[in-house]
Amino acid sequence: MEEKSFLEKIEISADYIKKFIDFDIEIALVLGSGLGELAQSIENPIVINYSDIPNFPISTAPGHYGKLVIGEISGKNVVCMQGRFHYYEGYDAKTICYPIFVFNQLNIKKLILTNASGCLRRDWNVGDLMIIEDHIKLVSDNPLRGINYESLGPRFFDMSKTYSSKMMKLACACAKEINLPIRKGVYQFFSGPSFETAAEIKMASALGADATGMSTVFEAITASYLKMELLAISCLTNMATGISETILDENEVIEAGKKVKPQFIKLLKSIINKWEN
């Protein structure tokens, strides 16, 4: 039998998810390291294991789950990805973004991406949250490399409005309301799983990056392609290599993420509540 096309696969995954719901989902959230817990505050949750969704990849990273949780947050119908797919796990860029294509197929046009990242700014602190206003990707891979499906989006497309300025403003206003200081900056993608070298961090700083991490950028590119309204927020869980003397380890990242989690969750709930069309 002929192999199913990418479009057919997405449709099959979306149709499977549709069987569980009789309402429209408005917002999709991809929860980064340590933030999976937000999904626990979802009301009337419907939980679907990635492994049960036809064609869906499966997540293996520490601190990550492998479930979709669908339900209500702050009065809005949302789907949370509890656990995402990373390049360092061996997935290719398109597979990492597979869920974003499925969300689009479910007619979801609002997306929040969260992650943990290393801080490049000596004047900022571990535990700070940063709204991603732009990104740098030197890794040559791209989720849209290969066949283009014109029904999804154009072959070439603008990236200047990838991160919604309306959503950045709203996130700042919501942070202010709960007295949570928030940064804005540029996120640079590195493939991992090795943390960066001190020289790489110096380079990233010189290029204009404020934070470094191993996720988000492929998903942001896909969201831009699919014309989704995107907000991305990073939790600066550690000073990047060479910015402080501390030796990096993954537990530090998970622990720092845990400390800001309650505030981060509060912020996300407020943003979801106020996100209008």
- Burial zone of 176 (CB within 10 Å; 0-12 exposed, 13-18 middle, 19+ buried): exposed
162, 212, 224, 270: which one contacts ligand HPA (CB under 6 A)? 212
- CA 244, CA 238: separation in Å to the nearest integer? 9
The least distance separating ligand HPA from the CB of residue 248, rounded to whole angstroms, comes to 6
| Separation of CA 190 from chain center | 15
Residue number, 54 or 90, with CB nearest to ligand HPA: 90
| Residues in region 239-268 near ligand HPA by CB under 6 A | 240, 248, 253
Shortest approach of ligand HPA to residue 254 CB, angstroms? 9
Please say which residue, 104 or 241, places its beta carbon nearer to ligand HPA.
241
Query: Does the footprint of ligand HPA cover residue 114 (CB under 6 A)?
Result: no
**C-beta of 63: minimal distance to ligand HPA in Å?**
10
Longest CA pairwise span in the chain (Å): 59
Name beta bridge partners: 111: 28, 230
Q: Which is nearer to ligand HPA, 17 or 239 (CB)?
A: 239
Backbone angles phi, psi at 106, to 5 degrees: -85, 10
First to last CA, the chain: 43
The site for ligand HPA (CB under 6 A) is made up of 116-118, 190, 195-196, 212-214, 237-238, 240, 248, 253
